[in-house]
A and B are shown apart, each in its own frame.
Chain A
Amino acid sequence: MNLEAFVLPLPGRSLAVIFWDRVRRAAGDSALSVYAPGELSPGELSEIASSLVASLGDATAEAQQGGPAPALLICWWLGGSAAAVALALHAFTLGAAFAWLALATVGLTLPWSRTGNAFGAARRASAARKVTRRLVGLEPAPGIDPSARERISAVWQFARAQRGSETDQMRALERFCDEQAWPAAASVYQTRLALADGRRRWRFGRRMHRRQRLFSLCEMRTWPST
């Protein structure tokens, strides 16, 4: 398994991102290649690996704590709905006025608030488990892929020429990553912008959700421009 971490620019600091939802499979040991605008100290590399563990664990926890497993959820809905119909039929023999009793009784036992996110959370947890199984002995090391290095260097060069407010700079970086055919990095900036501006999340909610990638985040230092 080959994981890649990219240190992306932010105004006044940087952000190490690992996209772990679509990893490249490779024979032999797992590797975490880190692409940064300069040399990282061993402690910083450990921080990046640690953020990956936190993100994978969060995805697993979301599925465990967010609601029942999809199979259990289907059983819950099928069992509850069958019971609702059966009780309603029984109540009709007493008179139509009693049907509400059956519906209210069974309606209270169905997992109304836990269904919406359960399948998405289960999918994310399954992706996290696939990566977690191969994490043993994963040591981060500087990346050597020339195209990835060129890509990160272009983003940094663009970021260093930016002026204006933090939001404007991040918006420009998002556009630049999109133009460079790097939607994954663009989605990172989009997520940061959405966090900074709650309204944007609603306005572009559907579009953002479609592009959403799974990644870990680790805030890092500023880098000198030389």
Chain B
Amino acid sequence: MTAYAAPLVGGAAYVMAASTLAALRGAGHALADAPQPLALVVCVQEGHQDDEAATDGVVRSLFRRAAVAATLNAQAQVSPVGLDSRGVRRSLLAFGWLLLLGGGTIAAGIGGLWLALGYPLIRRATLRSADPLIIAAPLAQAIGASTIARRQHAGLTSLARLLETGGGVGQVTLTDRYQQAAAACVPLGLAPLAEFYGALARGAEPRMPWAAEERADGAVREPA
């Protein structure tokens, strides 16, 4: 799983982009199928230094928040199984029991058996296998047990340089720098971070899980 230590003007931010959420959702399904160790990777710029012992806890908690978001997204995508109306289902169940108990013929018994027992059981089995929450427990366990590695990313190094120099054109405001960073994300292979820098440029709160690391004291701030 790959997260990003996105460079900021005067610090860095740990960001769980949409691609991280997609990978976590995918890993969750794979883990639910067969438990395996998970590799957590934070992409960093060249020369990035942080107190690994201190930031690992924050990064792990961000991965957990991203896993929750990925699970909830998956839950929203599930389509209903079988009849959606509870009223119709109950009517059919009652009709099935009436046929089973009072039908009086083998044909009515078979029909009643299906409506009273067969259909509700088969529907429940399908719902159980389609439950998106089955990925939550294996993901939580794997995130807690895995180590966090840091790997250099060429795009982040270029982005850090861009933010530092501001494109090298006279006085550049903070907003301009983040706008430039958002525009540079796709050509630098950091398309998942474009939304993050776009939100910073607008002065809005990025929607994905993230935490900023201030360079002055090295402390990591996690937004509420």
Contact = CB atoms under 8 A, between A and B. Distances in A.
B33 to A, nearest CB: 6
A128 to B, nearest CB: 8
Interface in A81-111: 82-84, 86-87, 89-90, 93, 102, 105-106, 108-109, 111
A77 to B, nearest CB: 10
A21 interface: no
> Binding site of A, secondary structure by majority: helix, strand, loop or mixed?
helix
B223 to A, nearest CB: 24
* Number of chain A interface residues as a range: 35 or more
B69 interface: no
Interface string B130-157: 1010100000000000000001111111
A23 interface: no
A116 interface: no
A82 B110 contact: yes
Contacts of B83: 108-109
Contact of B111 (A106, A114, A128, A135): A106
> Binding site of B, secondary structure by majority: helix, strand, loop or mixed?
helix
Given A64-B29, A72-B122, A72-B125, A46 B23 contact: no
Interface residues of B, number: 64
B111 A87 contact: yes
A72 B155 contact: no
A90 B25 CA distance: 49
B187 A221 contact: yes
Nearest to A83: B114
B34 A133 contact: yes
Interface string A132-172: 11011000000000000000000000000000000000000
B201 interface: no
B67 interface: no
B198 interface: no
B29 A46 contact: no
Interface string B152-194: 1111110000000000000000000000000000111111000
Contacts of B109: 86
A75 B114 CA distance: 11
Question: Which residue among B41, B44, B74 has the maximum number of chain A CB atoms within 10 Å of its CB?
Answer: B41
5 contacts: A42-B153, A43-B41, A58-B29, A72-B126, A136-B37
